[in-house]
Copies of this chain bind each other. A is one copy, B any other.
Amino acid sequence: MARYCELSKAELTTLKDELTKEYENIKAAGMTLDMSRGKPAGSQLDLSNEILTAPIDNYITSEGIDSRNYGILDGIKEIKGLFSELLHIPEKNIIVGGNSSLNLIYDAMARLYIFGAGGSTPWGKEKTKILCPVPGYDRHFAICEEFGFEMINIPMKDDGPDMDIVEKLVKEDKSIKAILCTPLYSNPGGICYSDTTVERLAKMETAAEDFKLFWDNAYAVHHVYKERHLANIFELCSKYGTNDRILYFFSTSKITFPGSGVAIIAAGDNYIEEIKKHFGIQTIGHNKLNQLRTFNFFKNAAGIHDHMKKLGDLLKEKFDIVLDTFDKKIAPLGILEWTKPDGGYFISVNTLEGCAKRTVELAKNCGLCLTDAGATYPYKKDPKDSNIRIAPSYPTCEELKNAVDVFCVCLELASVEKLLKGK
């Protein structure tokens, strides 16, 4: 196999014919597989089935609260303790809220839009810009777009967002109010922020007094190949007196059951109290019985880590399939770059420029639904039309092998089409 860019027009034309035939055969065989989202597989969910059947024998919490009744705005002691131990965040800085960290992020943005923070002008009342490391998580971007916040792309490096650019922008422009971070095993690149990156985010001078770090630690314990370390944002912000900028999110969605898990928001001493005041108007409290079921299943942080080891093993099988196939089939062709994440849920790939949309389109036309090309960028605009998020978790291993083969054919065809145009 030769690198595609070294092929002559004639060679490319022949290759295109061969690939087109192969593609038509795939299409004729028919497949239906949705790999658009980072959904856990049934085998992953099965690991938590005890939650479905374990009775709640004791609904009285360690603090004497009847979990069946109203009350406890910020979560029962048990579950706050569990997350505090797991994430090394003081209990007083944690609010347990509902089933979805995405919902907590949306509500946090809405709160800032309407009320500002610490007495600042509400974000909805002035020009507001948000820094978005790219590629990133489409649902984060959708929230910013919903509120009309202007998103600014920040290039992602191997150790997190390009901090030279971030520091310069936040220092100069007070309309820049936040940066969206998925600091460990980022979606989609699997990037882990280095200690230096985290420290710079904690330390950096911001023109906006109400600047917020949206710290979506969605994959905090989602190790697959290797257990990567993340510096503690609370400790570093304490060191630099910038605790007010923390908005920390985490959930058990990709630990137990998505949609039936438990999510948290955490913040510095001042801002968590401000959030609690609004929470106290918004709700009487969240589902304490679900908190109790979740706690009973894990009991402590070690219980979560043991569970994540099993989950990681299941994910590793899937990641291996994708990465091995790419190594064997695609690496020699010089038409794709990809991340080899140590954990998380995704593999991020970059095609030749201008080939992502076409690859996804080709896949879709033969029944393989991938995440939309462009989705990993604000406004769905990938300037190079090259990034695609691969979400390998949901299919079975057999389905995934087939899907990656199909993906490779689509990618090869799209690449050849593109190269031919340049000849």
Contact = CB atoms under 8 A, between A and B. Distances in A.
Interface of A: 37, 39-40, 42, 45, 48, 52-53, 55-57, 59, 66-71, 98-100, 102-103, 106-107, 110, 113-114, 124, 139, 142-143, 146-147, 253, 257-260, 278, 281-290
Contacts of A71: 39, 259
A59 B256 CA distance: 14
A107 B103 CA distance: 11
Nearest to A142: B281
Chain A contact residues: over half helix, strand or loop, or mixed? loop
A3 to B, nearest CB: 39
Contact of A259 (B69, B102, B114, B259): B69
A258 B278 contact: no
A45 B71 CA distance: 14
A37 B124 CA distance: 35
A287 B258 contact: no
By CB atoms of chain B within 10 A, which of A67, A68, A284 has the most? Answer: A68
Contacts of A284: 100, 102, 139, 258-259
Contacts of A107: 107, 282
Given A146-B281, A289-B260, A42 B66 contact: yes
B114 A147 contact: yes
B259 A70 contact: yes
Nearest to A260: B289
Nearest to A50: B55
Nearest to A115: B146
Contacts of A285: 100, 259
A59 B257 CA distance: 11
Contacts of A53: 55-57
Nearest to A45: B68
